[in-house]
Amino acid sequence: MSALRTVLLTALCVSALATMPDAGAAQARRATFGALADGTRIDAVDLTSRSGIRVRIITLGARIQSLYTPDRTGKLADIVLGFDSPQQYFDDSNYFGATVGRFANRIGKGRFTLDGHSYQLAINDHGNSLHGGTRGFDKRVWKIESTRSGSSASVRMSYVSPDGEEGYPGTMHVTATYTLTDSGELRIDYRATTDKPTIVNMSGHSYFNLASSPAHFSTMRDLLQINASHYTPVDDTLIPTGAITPVAGTPFDFRKPTPIGLRIRDGNDTQIRYCHGYDMNFVLDGRPGTIRLAARVEDPRSGRVLEVYTTAPGVQFYSGNFLTGAFVGKHGIVYRQGDAVVLEPQDFPDAPNHPNFPSATLNPGAAYHNEIVYRFAVKR
């Protein structure tokens, strides 16, 4: 072999080694999750990290299908609710683990006006539009754009939402990037652009349950802290009245860690009654656009702690009020009311109809961005 050839081969091997993840590093691996009844294939990407945490993201709704983290004894458990097959996700209306959009949460009567034009969105929730309408981002098949292994593991998925889909103006290009770091963090980065003025509000809709055993599945004893001094009260169809009200002296004061179940049956509180528990947008303290702690959940029994950070102005806390025990989810578990903590960092509900709320308008040439970080820890 000539000297030149040896040098070239060595250089090739070194560069191949440099791009190949080492066995201990974080890994992204593609797999097939299954198929919808009409034959559409749904793919999965499994992200694993050296810390033992692993997460499966599927192309149906760019959603988190499973997420395993250790409890204080090191035992791994799946801490998100969901299903074992694609069609179950497609038929269900709970948005388990999904990327929700174009507009997460509700828009009153599905109507809004932008630059003098009135728009009517698909109605799917008691006369209102919820989480993007009849077939929102959660029920679309996203494309895997890229995966990466190395010091962290990631997958980027994309979806192109055509002009007029579910009544929304403008063709919208959206991406959802999930990154699992070796330090035990899962980052979600949502981005969107449009070719016409429109509205956007993307969020992650994971139902967390930090228990290690189905025998202790209720989240009512979980300690919840929300970094919010105000919330946005709603009417009886869960549309904000427009008020921004202090949490002080209400069941919505979670500024200090408080058991979720402590005030959830407070019949004197109209908001608790309207929401059947907690289903409320909290106005996060700190500056929107900067990543800051939104909420922290601790399961005192398993020791698992979840911290949620975001750049969004608000976070919806939903206590799984509409889980009725009517079906069986993953691991053969029946999901009942109060079995999950859903924390959805987002713009305020019905923002397009409330000029005093932060704007959810997206114009051509601008870029929408919402970053969410789940940090997992244990309390010994």
Would you name the residues annotated as active-site residues? 205, 344
Based on the shown chain and the rule CB under 6 A, indicate whether residue 316 belongs to the binding site for ligand BGC. yes
Among 71, 344, 347, 350, which residue sits at the site for ligand BGC (rule: CB under 6 A)? 344
Based on the shown chain and the rule CB under 6 A, indicate whether residue 95 belongs to the binding site for ligand BGC. yes
Residue number, 95 or 309, with CB nearest to ligand BGC: 95
Residue number, 153 or 238, with CB nearest to ligand BGC: 238
- Give 261-298 as a DSSP string: GGSTT-TT-HHHHHHTS-EEEEEESS-TTS-EEEEEEE
**Parallel/antiparallel/unpaired status of strands 279-284 and 292-298:** unpaired
Find the part of the chain contacting ligand BGC (CB under 6 A) among 90-98, 241-249, 290-298, 351-359.
Answer: 90-98
Minimum Å distance from CB 7 to ligand BGC?
59
Based on the shown chain and the rule CB under 6 A, indicate whether residue 322 belongs to the binding site for ligand BGC. yes
- Report the Cα 337 to chain-centroid distance in Å: 20
Q: Which 3 state secondary structure label does DSSP give 155?
A: strand
CB-count exposure of residue 238 (10 Å: 0-12, 13-18, 19+): buried
Residue number, 147 or 346, with CB nearest to ligand BGC: 346
Among 59, 65, 94, 302, which residue sits at the site for ligand BGC (rule: CB under 6 A)? 94
Minimum Å distance from CB 284 to ligand BGC?
16
Cα–Cα distance list, 60 to 207, 333, 339 (Å): 17, 22, 23
Which has the closest alpha carbon to 204: 165, 178, 238?
A: 178
Residue number, 33 or 318, with CB nearest to ligand BGC: 318
- Find tokens 């209720």 and name the residue: 218
Based on the shown chain and the rule CB under 6 A, indicate whether residue 347 belongs to the binding site for ligand BGC. no
As a whole number of angstroms, the distance between CA 342 and CA 207 comes to 5
Q: Is the separation of the CB atoms in 63 and 98 below 8 Å?
A: yes
> Measured over all CA atoms, what is the biggest interatomic distance in the chain, rounded to whole angstroms?
87
Here's the x/- map for ligand BGC, 356-375, by CB under 6 A: it reads as --------------------
Based on the shown chain and the rule CB under 6 A, indicate whether residue 190 belongs to the binding site for ligand BGC. no
Here's the x/- map for ligand BGC, 234-263, by CB under 6 A: it reads as ----x-------------------------
**Parallel/antiparallel/unpaired status of strands 207-208 and 245-246:** unpaired
Based on the shown chain and the rule CB under 6 A, indicate whether residue 138 belongs to the binding site for ligand BGC. no
- Residues of span 257-296 touching ligand BGC by CB under 6 A: 279
Binding site for ligand BGC (CB under 6 A): 93-95, 238, 279, 316, 318, 322, 344
